[in-house]
Structure 1
Amino acid sequence: MKKPFERLDFVSSLEHSILSPSTTESQVLEGCRFAAAEGVKLVMVQPCFVETASAALRGTPVLVGAVVGFPHGCDLTDVKALSARRLRALGADELDMVLNRSLLRSGRLLEMEADIREVVDSAGGATVKVILETGELSEIEIAQCVEAARRAGADFVKTSTGFAGSGATVESVRLLRRLAGRTLGVKASGGIRTLDQALALIEAGADRLGLSATPAVLAEWDKRFPDER
């Protein structure tokens, strides 16, 4: 089978997620060692492990990401903003914030946009991705969220937290890509467990993939395209 692109290009689109609420420090350190060895784009951790990951990845090109308002997005806006400032100071390069769907469903779209903007403004230059939970939203609601993220100055829109009933799908990524154009990046996450899923989501328009099954997916790549390692 012909490779769709080079392994290096594939690996550089991957964000290795370590977000289970029962994750231990040793698991974070193991994940960071794996990420540094493989050269993935980023390691995504819970806020309590940002310092750990930052120290472990110092001197490597691997970025540190952290979540804000995770996984429901219903924290007060000033709490999200404070979290963004603190996480940036602790070493986070990128922040994945959860959009407040309660505000969306209540028709309070300007407040929803302001919630995003406060995080962007508090992020100290860190890349900000806005998690929509696309599986819970209508196409109209998704369009409203993408526009709010764009207006608020976010860098990416992201399909899912991985903690809801549905994750990334080819259809949701295609929709986000169409709505975002090239003004926003698109990150697919949630339920990505196989190489075929990953490749299909990239083909659909994802710039980044967030997954915890990174070792298994890369092992699949190396088995399918053994000439590259």
Structure 2
Amino acid sequence: MLLNAYIDHTLLKADATVDAIKQLCSEAKAYDFYAVCVNSYYVALAHSELRNTPIKIASVVGFPLGASISNAKISEAQYCIDNGAQEIDMVLNIGLLKSNYYKIVEDEIKAIKKTIGDHTLKVIFENCYLTNDEKKMACKLAVHAGADFIKTSTGFGNGGATLADVKLMKNEVGNQVLIKASGGIRDTKTAQQYIDLGVSRIGTSSGIAIVSS
């Protein structure tokens, strides 16, 4: 599979303008990326820009901290689906995971998956804040809750994807769910290393550089 088919072309910056989102969508069409990933406010705009194309729209929920109340995350996820998103990248509640409140974390993931139905749910761990045991627990909770993907990072924490984390995640989940690597992946060589480890998607704002070099 060509590299472009792995790319979630991403723009989540606070200062992203309407024109910048339109440019993101134009680039996704030009390079035939798998999806664009935008904040929830811009889902409807991306849907309009990508109408009649096969490019998917992913939106983040509870981003980037994961600390929103569950009802807010559920409402945001529903809004995104209603306005044209096919994929939801939710941030799990990092603080509750670290507090060993595992049932609450799992129930929230379940509730969002129930809300979006057959649409794709990716659960963002933000691995830079987690111990290896916490990463393994997050894997278990996401699998039990019915997630479709687990994802390394938001790109807004103090560290992004690492090869070691993806190996750990892959060892924990096997083929039960897919893996998305995100955060700091900016060149072809690095992207290929993650693909060789078994990731199915790469979240990056450097998609053009990755497929052009």
Q: Equivalent residues in 2 for 1:146-157 (5 A)?
A: 146-157=139-150
Residue 113 of structure 1, CA deviation: 0.4
TM-score, length basis structure 2: 0.98
Equivalent-residue separation in structure 1 for 2:111 and 2:15 (angstroms): 29
Kindly tell me the number of residue pairs found equivalent between the two proteins. Answer: 213
> Which residue, out of 148, 165, 178, partners 1:172?
165
Q: Residue in 2 aligned with 1:119?
A: 112
Residue 124 of structure 1, CA deviation: 3.5
Q: Where do 5+ consecutive residues of structure 1 fail to align?
A: 1-5, 221-229
Q: Does 1:80 align with 2:73?
A: yes
> Which residue, out of 158, 178, 183, partners 2:176?
183
Residue 107 of structure 1, CA deviation: 1.3
Q: Residue in 1 aligned with 2:94?
A: 101
Q: Could you tell me whether the CA contact under 8 Å between 1:88 and 1:124 is conserved in 2? A: no
TM-score, length basis structure 1: 0.91
Tell which structure's C-alpha radius of gyration is larger: 1
Q: Could you tell me whether the CA contact under 8 Å between 2:152 and 2:161 is conserved in 1? A: yes
Instruction: Tell me the percent identity.
Output: 35
C-alpha distance after superposition, 1:20-66 (max 9, x if no partner): 11001111111101101211100000111000000100100100000
> Which residue, out of 18, 41, 60, partners 1:48?
41
2:49 aligned counterpart, secondary structure: helix
Superposed CA RMSD in Å reads 0.9
Letter in 2 for 1:37: A
Runs of 4+ in structure 1 over 3 Å off: none
Equivalent-residue separation in structure 2 for 1:61 and 1:137 (angstroms): 36
C-alpha distance after superposition, 1:115-155 (max 9, x if no partner): 11111111132100000011211111111101111111110
Letter in 1 for 2:195: I
Letter in 2 for 1:188: A
Q: Could you tell me whether the CA contact under 8 Å between 1:195 and 1:217 is conserved in 2? A: yes
**Greater relative contact order (CA < 8 Å, ≥ 6 in sequence):** 2
Residue 195 of structure 1, CA deviation: 1.1
